[in-house]
Amino acid sequence: MIGNTKHKTETRIEAARLFDAGFGYKWVAKQLRQSPSTMRIWQDSHKQGRLLGLDSVTTYKKYSAELKLAAVEKFLSGTVKSEVMAEFNISTRALLNKWAVIYRDHGPEGLMLKPKGPPRKNTDQLLETDAQKIHRLELENAVLKKLIALESQEQAAQLAKRRQSGR
Q: Using one digit for the tens of pLDDT, what is the confidence trace for 9-67?
A: 788 888 888 888 888 889 989 988 888 888 888 888 777 776 666 554 455 678 888 99
Q: According to the model, what pLDDT value does residue 94 have?
A: 85
DSSP-H helix ranges across the chain: 9-20, 25-32, 36-47, 65-76, 81-88, 93-106, 123-126, 130-166
With bands split at pLDDT 50, 70 and 90, how would you rate the model's confidence at 123?
low
